[in-house]
Amino acid sequence: MGKKLLFLLLISLLACDMPEEKKATDYRNTALSIEDRISILIGQMTVEEKVSQMRYDSPSIERLGIPAYNWWNECLHGVGRAGEATVFPQAIGMGAMWDTTLMHQIAVAISDEARAKHHYFTTLNQRGIYQGLTFWTPNINIFRDPRWGRGQETYGEDPYLTGRLAVNFINGLQGDDPNYFKVIATSKHFAVHSGPEKTRHSDNYQASERDLWQTYLPAFEATVKEANVQSVMCAYNRFRDEACCGSNTLLDSILRNEWNFNGYVVSDCWAINDFYVEGRHGVSANQQEAAALAVKRGTDLNCGDTFFPGLVDAVKNGILPEKNLDEALARLLRAKIKLGLFDPPEEVPYTKIPYSVVRSQSHLDLALEASRKAMVLLKNENNALPLSKDLKKVAVIGPNAHDEQVLLGNYHGTSTNYATPLEAIQEKLPNAEVTYAIGSPIAAGFPLLTPIPSEYLSSDGKAGLTGTYYANMDWSGEPAMTQQDAELDFKWTEKTPVTEIMADTFAVQWRGQLMVPETGSYRLGLKACNFGRFTLNDSTYFEFDNVHHPITRYIDLDLKKGESYTISIDFYSYHTDPQLHLLWAKLGEDYLSPALAAAQQAETVILCLGLSPDIEGEEMPIVLDGFDKGDRTKLSLPQPQIDLMKKIKALGKPTILVLLNGSAVAVNWADQNMPAILEAWYPGEFGGQAIADVLFGDYNPSGKLPVTFYQTVEDLPAFTDYNMDNRTYKYFRGEVLYPFGHGLSYTQFEYGDLQLPAKINPGESIEVSVTVSNTGAVAGDEIVQLYITDSGDNEASPIRSLKRFARVSLDAGESKTVSFNLSPKEYASMQLDGTILIQPGELTVSIGGKQPGFIGNADAITTQVVSGKITVGGETLKLAMK
C-alpha cells in the first residue's frame, strides 16, 4: 500500500474517531459549508484577534491553529520580489501585444510559479511578505495622461483593451478549479486614479458621469462581473470629496450593490492614514475614526497600521458595531478558505505544482514570445529595417543599451539571465565588431551607476571589502562567517549566504577602504532592499529601512586620487529577495566623445534611448529636468539624449533608434530624421533578444500602441484635470505623433469584403465581417481593430471607440475572414449625465490594422482600414443609466 493511500486512510480513521461535536465546531472541517466554517471561527475570536486578522501582516493565533499570513504579494509581470522568477515585459508592453490568449497563458505561468513558491516557503515555516497567495495585481487604471509615472503598470489608455487583457490575466491567475482559487488577483486602484504621484495622498478628483462610467469604471466592472476577481484595492485619492478607501459611492453603491462584488477590499498601503494625517484628506479626526469609517464604507483589509489598534478602540468606544467587523473579517476568511489555507494539502489541487516550474523552459519561452509581441515598429522609412546580418562593424550606443534595470520596469521579479540589447546584438552578429558607448546620461544630472570595481576597494591589503556575516538582523553575537568580497553586487535569489536557506534572515557589515582613479566629483550609491546604511570616513550619508523592493540612495562627493577613504556598509535582510549593490559614477564624464568615435567607425549605429524606471515610477524622490517625484513634466526625451541623437545623426551613418520606456515619448525630431524607430517598452528579461530579433529580421513585429504618442505636453489639459476632454485617442482633437493602435510590419495587409447591415433598428445586434490578406512576402501577425464612430450630434460621444480586436496570423499570400458581433449597448452613446441612448442616425464602422484617419510618417503602408456606414432607424431607445 502506497504512503499516500496510508496517509489518506489514517486521516479517514481519525475523522471517524473525531467526536461529532468536535467535527461540528472545527472550522477546519472541510465537510462543513464555507459559511459555517467562517461562523464557527469568528465565534471563537476576541475583538483583538478579529482585528489582528484584518491587517496585511496578520499574526498567528496559536490557540485557534491559525498560522501567520501576509496578504501583500506582487506579480505585475511575473512573481515579484520573491527570489528567482520568470520576468515578462512590463504591463504596458503586455498591453502592446493586444493578445488575450497570451495574457492568459502568461498568468497561468505566473500563478504556477506563485503556488510553487508559496508551498516551498511554508515548508520552511516562512510566512512573510511576498510569500502568500494574494497578489495585488493587475493595475487597471486608465493611462489617461503620459506624465503619470505609474502608467507603465497599466495596459494603456483604452477601457475596452484594458478590460479584455485584465479579464484573461485574472482568469489565468485565479484558476479554473470549482472549489479553490489558485491565487487571488486584485483589481487596482479603485477608482479614478492616475496621478500625480506627489499629491496622491491629498488630491480630490472630479469627473462627469460619462467619464466615470465610460472611462474609469468599465475595466473594473469587467473584472468583477466576468473574471470574478476576488480582491479590489481602493486608491489613495479622494473622488467627489470621499476618500476612495472610505467611499460610499465607490465601495458600497457601485462595487457591492450594483456589481454584486463578492470578494474583499484592501486599502492601498497606508491610504487610511491619509484620512487623518494633517495636510491630507481631513475626513477623519484620528486613527480610530479613520479605521471605523473605512470598515463601515467597505474596506476589509488594511495595508498599513491604522486598523490595529484603531479598530479595537472604535469597537470598544461604540464608534463601530462589532457586526461590521465580523462582516469584513468573514470576507477575508472566505478568501483564505477558498485558497485552501486551512485545508489538508491533498484536497487542494494546486499544492501539487512542483517548484521545478519556476523559470522552467516553457515559461522562459513564453517570456520571449511576449517580449517579441510587445515590440512596436513606429517608423520604417524605405525599409531601413530589417538590418543585414552581414554587417561587419556596428556601434550600439545609448544609456539604455546595456542596463538591466530598463528591461524590468517596476514591480518586477528577479531573473538569472538578462539579455540587454548590446549583449543580444553581439550574439546575433558573432562575426562582427560590435562596439558600445553610453553616449549620454539617462537625464541631465542622472548618470548611469555601475558597480565599484574591486581594484578601488581594499581591506587588509586585499582587493575588495571584508564582509562579516551574521545569522540575525542586528549584527550581534559571533559572526557566522567572514570573507573578502571583491565587488558588492549581490542578488541572493536561491539561498542566503549564511544559512543557505532561501529568504532567511541575515545581516552583513562590510568594512574597508575606497580609492578613486582620478580626482573629481563622484556619485556614490547603494541599491538595496530591507535595510541599508552608507558611511564614509565616519560620516553616515544615508540610511533606509523597511524598503520592500530595491531602491537606490546616493550622495555626490568630491574625492581625490591618492587618498584612502574609510567605507562602511551595513545591511540586513528579512524577506525573500535580498539584494545589495555598491555603485558609482564619475560626474561630468565625457560620454559623448567615445560614442562619436564608435559611431564614426561603424557601418550602422543602433541608438538605445528612452527613459528608465529609476526616474519614472511610483512616488519617487527624483526631481530632475523633465521629471518630478516619479511623474514627468515633459514628453520629450531628456535633453542629453536629444543632443546625442542629433550629433550621431550628423555623422551621416545609417542610424536606427530603439526606445525603452514605460510611457509615450514625443520623439518629434527623430520621427523627422531617423529612418526607423522601434518601441520596446521595458521588455522583460528577454527584451534584448526580442529587440535584436526584430532589428535583424528574425521576428516580424506585430505590436500596436496601447497609448497615444502626443507631440508636446502643451497639447494636454492640466495633469490634475480628470475630465477626459482632449485626452486619449477617443477625445483628443489635435495632431498626434503616433496614434493609439499604430504599429508597422515587415509585410503588408489588405482588407476587403466588408460585410455589415445597411440598416438596423435600435436594440438589434450588429454582425460584421471582413477579409484580411497578407499581400507581402513574409508571414506576419495583424491586429484587426474595429472602431465605431457615432455620427449623431451627441457632443459627449467619443471621436471613435475601440469595440473589438483580434490577433490574426497570416502566411504570405494567405487570407482569413474575421467576424465580430456588437451588442446594442456597445454601439449606444452615453450622455454626460450617464444616460445610455441609441439614437436614430448613422454609425461608421471602421476595421483595419490601425485607427482610421491618420496619414504621414506614422502611417507607412503596411496595413489598411475599411469603413462602412449603418443607418439606425426608429426612435431613440433609452437603455439605462450608466
Residues taking part in catalysis:
268, 616
Closest to 882 in 3D by CA, of 175, 258, 224: 258
Asked if the peptide bond before residue 453 counts as cis, ω within 30 degrees of 0, the response is no
The distance in angstroms from the start CA to the end CA of the chain is 62
Closest to 75 in 3D by CA, of 576, 444, 570, 557: 576
DSSP result, 160-201: HHHHHHHHHHHHHHH-S-SS--SSB-EEEEESS----STTTT
Cα(397)–Cα(385) distance, rounded to whole angstroms?
Answer: 18
Q: Please say whether the beta carbons of 399 and 441 come within 8 A.
A: yes
Closest to 191 in 3D by CA, of 168, 161, 214: 214
Give me 241's grid cell.
470629496
Distances (CA, A) of 92 to 139, 353, 462, 741: 10, 29, 46, 13
Distances (CA, A) of 6 to 3, 10, 13, 28: 5, 6, 10, 21
DSSP result, 631-691: EES-SSPPHHHHHHHHHHHTTT--EEEEEE-SS----HHHHHH-SEEEE--S--TTHHHHH
Distances (CA, A) of 700 to 382, 550, 776, 777: 16, 35, 12, 11
Cα(881)–Cα(835) distance, rounded to whole angstroms?
Answer: 4
| Cell 441609441 sits on residue | 838
Closest to 363 in 3D by CA, of 423, 421, 405, 415: 415
Q: Which helix (H) or strand (E) holds 871?
A: strand 865-872
Asked if the peptide bond before residue 77 counts as cis, ω within 30 degrees of 0, the response is no
Q: Please say whether the beta carbons of 377 and 384 come within 8 A.
A: no
Cα(628)–Cα(196) distance, rounded to whole angstroms?
Answer: 9
Handedness of CA 707, 100, 89, 599 (dihedral sign): negative
Question: How many residues in total does the chain contain?
Answer: 882
* Exposure b/e, 337-364, CB count within 10 A at least 16 = b: bbbbbbbeeeebebbebeeebbbbeebb
Query: What letter would DSSP give residue 343?
Result: S
| Cell 486608491 sits on residue | 235
Q: Which helix (H) or strand (E) holds 861?
A: none
